[in-house]
């Protein structure tokens, strides 16, 4: 079984998670930009973060034969902080880099005017750079947030079929599907969706244009939830081909819209005495 986790925050996870993910079948992932818990205080802190997603995390992932890609953006929560907003002016030079396969996470957190501006601006950046967009639908007032998101996407230069609406659930899936966008479901131990609810949605809506992710971060989350969904799908009567479509072919198709998806993992350099970190030298 091969798994592509289309939304996971590996900068928050240990190297042991990479090993466990590989053993579970994960062979590729996308790490979107998100907030760090502790507020950033300037665009410079985003620069360091973006550089890590483009350099350090692909290196860590390659040690376990996992292809790492990223999506870069000013995330919805920090779009409300005027100290962070200037990073929007810096994004174009990062979005031009090979490892970037989408603009994201963008979208809504608290449905503020500042979030309106950041979303519209970054949808335009996605269109300008030929990239798809990963859109975060809010955790609160989800249906209102979904409707507002769809309206902004329709007004943008980015076609709905180049947008992934993520963090969906039973209250938002129908209108999201009607929008023409791709559908994303984050599977968590306690919040968002679980594997059984996800399987119920797959039974109702089918397997086309649906992506399942763990969205694992520094909170209570599980980077192996994609594998749990695969097991639940098989137990409920889905075929191995259905599982492959949802957990591999669909994310490959969506992020392949960038023209930058590379699933061949480079051989990592030799490490000193088994260390997981390169030290010194070039």
- 282 residues of the chain, pLDDT tens digit each: 999 999 999 999 999 999 999 999 999 999 999 988 888 999 999 999 999 999 999 999 999 999 999 999 999 999 999 999 999 999 999 999 999 999 999 999 999 999 999 999 999 999 999 999 999 999 888 999 999 999 999 999 999 999 999 999 999 999 999 999 999 999 998 777 899 999 999 999 999 999 999 998 888 899 999 999 999 999 999 999 999 999 999 999 999 999 999 998 877 666 656 666 665 444
Write the DSSP string, the chain. Answer: --EEESS--GGGS-HHHHHHHHHHTEEEEEEE----SSPP-SHHHHHHHHHHHHTHHHHHHHTTT-EEEEEE---TTGGG-TTTTTHHHHHHHHHTSTTEEEEEEEE-SS--HHHHHHHHHHHHHHHHHT--EEEE--SSSHHHHHHHHHHHHHHSSS-GGGEEEES--TTTHHHHHHTT-EEEEEB-SSSBB-HHHHHHHHHHH-STTEEEE----SSS--TTHHHHHHHHHHHTT--HHHHHIIIIIHHHHHHGGGS----SPPPPPP-GGG-SS--S--
């Amino acid at each position: 079984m091969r798994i592509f986790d289309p939304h996971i925050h590996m900068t928050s996870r240990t190297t042991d998670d990479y090993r466990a993910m590989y053993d579970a079948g994960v062979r590729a992932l996308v790490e979107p930009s998100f907030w760090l818990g502790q507020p950033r205080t300037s665009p410079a802190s985003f620069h360091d973060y973006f550089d890590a997603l483009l350099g350090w995390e692909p290196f860590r992932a390659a040690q376990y034969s996992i292809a790492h890609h990223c999506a870069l953006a000013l995330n919805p929560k920090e779009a409300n902080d005027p100290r962070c907003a200037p990073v929007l002016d810096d994004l174009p030079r990062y979005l031009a880099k090979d490892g970037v396969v989408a603009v994201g996470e963008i979208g809504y957190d608290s449905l503020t005017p500042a979030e309106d501006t950041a979303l519209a601006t970054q949808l335009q950046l996605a269109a300008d750079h030929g990239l798809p967009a990963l859109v975060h639908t809010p955790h609160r007032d989800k249906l209102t947030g979904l409707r507002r998101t769809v309206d902004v996407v329709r007004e943008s230069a980015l076609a709905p079929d180049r947008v992934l609406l993520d963090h969906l659930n039973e209250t938002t899936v129908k209108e999201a599907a009607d929008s023409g966008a791709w559908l994303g479901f984050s599977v968590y131990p306690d919040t968002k969706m679980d594997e059984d609810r996800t399987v119920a949605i797959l039974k109702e809506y089918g397997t086309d244009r649906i992506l399942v992710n763990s969205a694992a971060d520094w909170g209570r989350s599980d980077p192996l939830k994609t594998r749990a969904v695969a097991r639940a799908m098989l137990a409920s009567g889905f075929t191995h081909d259905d599982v492959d479509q949802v957990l591999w072919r669909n994310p490959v198709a969506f992020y392949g819209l960038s023209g930058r998806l590379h699933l061949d993992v480079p051989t990592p350099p030799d490490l000193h005495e088994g260390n997981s970190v390169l030290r010194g030298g070039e």
